[in-house]
């Protein structure tokens, strides 16, 4: 959904230079590309980071687009972490999560995205040597990542274009992170019935995995999250003595490590779903999208 700033309460729109900043001079000629979003208040750093201002209010109205779930929503701070692919300057002044999702969907490696407002200089200072004009513009930016975003890595909040923290101040506000919903999570379990002809109905286990040492056989890492259930069912069928399996997504510090498949020689019910993850060498491993099937006798 698009969130237009013009639909919010009226605000004083900045049209000149920030108080105390030099006016446009002869060296300021090349105007940078911009989304054209509203400049809040007097265009200062404080106006951009005002929780009651139009930018943060627009971001707070946003919701996850189709096929995605929300990972975080922050007043200040864009994502800065591994898996970064590229960014897009959104076309138009609105906080358009669908447009950002479309960019992610069109990139073969994109798993998640971060959308935010950014305070940028009107004039491209790299293309305008000697330009001292500090007039701000507001861009809506969309950063794409090949990994799940981590909330604690959304800490890229301020930059200066001059040495020793001088010059124009960039700031990222209204930052939201979204990740693609896994195939197992987005489709009903009935979608896999064709591959599970010899198995009974699914038992949804949420964020817990089966723990039954007495009947445990082995586990496998699966290749394709899209067909995790069917692939695990096939592994169970091919494993001597297997009559029950549990497939789930393993996460390390919130980042998906892919689907896993645990095989058992006895069926268990949800009361055995007590494995919520573990810690190892300072890393936290957790579970999501857990589901189990038993072979019909």
* pLDDT tens readout for residues 190-202: 444 445 767 777 8
**Same domain as 202, residue 159:** no
**Same domain as 280, residue 245:** yes
Output the average pLDDT for the chain. 83
What is the model's pLDDT at position 17? 38
**Same domain as 62, residue 127:** yes
Least confident of 11-20, 182-191, 223-232: 11-20
Q: Which domain holds residue 260?
A: 183-294
Give 44's contacts (C-beta < 8 A, 6+ positions apart).
Answer: 18, 19
Gap between the Cα atoms of 152 and 150, Å rounded: 6
Mean pLDDT, residues 263-292: 92
State how many domains the chain has.
2
pLDDT cut 70: percent of the chain above it: 82
What is the model's pLDDT at position 25? 55
**Same domain as 48, residue 91:** yes
What is the model's pLDDT at position 229? 84
pLDDT tens track for 109-137 = 898 999 999 999 998 877 888 888 889 99
Mean pLDDT, residues 260-268: 94
**Same domain as 198, residue 158:** no
Is a pLDDT exceeding 90 seen at residue 98? Answer: yes
What is the model's pLDDT at position 182? 61
Q: Of 4-13, 26-35, 100-109, which has the strongest mean pLDDT? A: 100-109
Q: Which of 177, 116, 111 is nearest to 150 (CA)?
A: 177
What is the model's pLDDT at position 84? 92
pLDDT tens track for 31-48 = 888 999 999 999 999 999
Is a pLDDT exceeding 70 seen at residue 5? Answer: no
Domain endpoint, select from 133, 162, 180:
180
What is the model's pLDDT at position 193? 46
Domain endpoint, select from 180, 212, 247:
180
What is the model's pLDDT at position 283? 87
**Same domain as 114, residue 55:** yes
Its pTM stands at 0.58
**Same domain as 194, residue 163:** no
Mean pLDDT, residues 242-266: 91
What is the model's pLDDT at position 119? 95
**Same domain as 188, residue 275:** yes
The model's confidence at residue 22, banded by pLDDT at 50, 70 and 90, is very low
Mean pLDDT, residues 262-279: 93
**Same domain as 220, residue 166:** no
The model's confidence at residue 218, banded by pLDDT at 50, 70 and 90, is very high
**Same domain as 130, residue 199:** no
Domain endpoint, select from 133, 150, 180:
180
**Same domain as 187, residue 165:** no
**Same domain as 56, residue 147:** yes
- Which position has the higher pLDDT, 197 or 9? 197
């Amino acid at each position: 959904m698009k969130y237009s700033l013009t639909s919010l309460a009226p605000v004083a729109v900045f049209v000149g230079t920030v108080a105390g900043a030099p006016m446009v001079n002869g060296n300021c000629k090349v105007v940078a590309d911009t989304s054209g979003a509203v400049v809040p208040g007097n265009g200062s750093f404080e106006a951009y980071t005002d929780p009651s201002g139009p930018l943060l209010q627009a971001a707070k109205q946003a919701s996850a687009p189709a096929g995605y779930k929300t990972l975080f929503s922050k007043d200040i701070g864009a994502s800065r972490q591994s898996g970064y692919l590229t960014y897009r300057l959104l076309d138009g002044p609105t906080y358009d999560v669908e447009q950002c999702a479309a960019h992610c969907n069109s990139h073969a490696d994109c798993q998640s995205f971060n959308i935010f407002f950014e305070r940028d200089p009107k004039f491209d200072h790299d293309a305008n040597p000697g330009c001292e004009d500090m007039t701000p513009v507001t861009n809506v930016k969309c950063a794409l990542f090949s990994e799940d975003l981590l909330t604690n890595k959304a800490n890229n909040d301020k930059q200066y274009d001059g040495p020793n923290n001088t010059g124009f101040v960039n700031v990222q506000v209204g930052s939201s992170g979204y990740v693609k919903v896994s195939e197992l999570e987005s489709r009903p379990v009935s979608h896999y019935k064709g591959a599970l002809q010899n198995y009974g109905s699914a038992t949804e286990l949420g964020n817990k995995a089966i723990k039954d040492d007495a009947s445990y056989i082995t586990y496998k890492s699966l290749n394709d999250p899209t067909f995790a259930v069917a692939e695990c069912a096939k592994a169970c069928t091919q494993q001597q003595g297997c009559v029950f399996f549990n497939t789930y997504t393993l996460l390390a510090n919130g980042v998906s490590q892919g689907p896993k498949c645990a095989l058992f020689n006895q069926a268990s019910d949800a009361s055995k779903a007590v494995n919520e993850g573990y810690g190892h060498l300072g890393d936290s491993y957790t579970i999501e999208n857990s589901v189990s099937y038993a072979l019909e006798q």
